[in-house]
Amino acid sequence: MILITDGGSTKCDWIAIDEKGNLKTQKIRTKGLNPAILSEKKLNKIIRKSNELMAMSDEVTYVFFYGAGCGTENPRLILKAILEGIFPNAKVEVQEDTMAAVRACINTNDEASVVCILGTGSNCSYFDGEKLHQRVLSLGYTLMDEASGNYYGKELIRDYYFNVMPHDLKLAFDHKHNLEADYIKYNLYKQPNPNAYLANHAEFMFLNKDSDYIKNLIKRGLRQFTEHMILQFKEELNTGVPVHFAGSIAYFSQEEIREVAEEYGFKVGNFVRRPIDGLVEYHVKNI
């Protein structure tokens, strides 16, 4: 049995298939498993809490885990050891979430492209057809992650408190979320996954996209992401390689992404909301 996981900071989707690609179970969802943020104990607890995963633990022969926070060696090795302990008969491969986006987005296995993730967090890499290249090491949601869910959640809350948000939207935002200062600070500084907490506020943008304020906010984040992340591969972009996008923020911002791409002169490729849907096909072909 093959287990494929698309692991974000907010949630993880797990799919179990046989070697022909037949589903063995329905999609399994757990809380997010970011090893750069969560402790080893917490990671173990989240996985073991899933009765579905534990019921198949001895049957799994391959685990392909793609996750946020797995781009640096120490967190990746910690999570790999945890998965090997839970699935003792499996060969375990742990890679950063960007590789999941690459394998889900590209049209052929050796297609050169720039691949971006805009979900709870954000990232951007160049895939040369064989290897993944990153020229900016991510420092996480506090210092980076432009155009991500947590970036937009933070901007919405800041604009609400600085009275930049239009009055009618302030009323709607206040109705949808608890915006008491103590509640916000409690979730940011005393609860795990503050990035996921912030990202939960980003949905508000896509419920109110008829507002000029919202459109400008989305494009402001995309311009920052383009300048800091996409344009680090300017030389490659000049050869005409496409820029693919994965993640919910990207999926629901397609119009704005195309407008920003026209401003900066890069070619937009595919949009994939959930990378795991493309990973099944990839691994069936490449097992």
What tens digit of pLDDT does each residue of 98-129 get?
888 899 999 888 899 999 999 989 999 999 99
The string of pLDDT tens digits covering residues 224-279 is 999 999 999 999 999 999 999 999 999 999 999 999 999 999 999 999 998 887 88
pLDDT (mean) for 88-93: 96
pLDDT for 220 beyond 80: yes
Among 27, 55, 24, 74, smallest CA distance to 275 is for 27
What pLDDT is attached to residue 22?
84
Q: What is the pTM of this model?
A: 0.81
Of 78-82, 98-102, 181-185, 197-201, least confident by mean pLDDT is: 98-102
Identity at 271, one-letter amino acid code: F
Distance CA 71, CA 54 (A): 26
Cβ partners under 8 Å of residue 260, min gap 6: 219, 222, 223, 226
The residue among 51 and 193 whose pLDDT is bigger is: 51
Q: Are 158 and 233 in contact (CB under 8 A)?
A: no
Q: Which numeric CATH code is attached to 2-101+276-286?
A: 3.30.420.40
Residue ranges of domains in the chain: 2-101+276-286
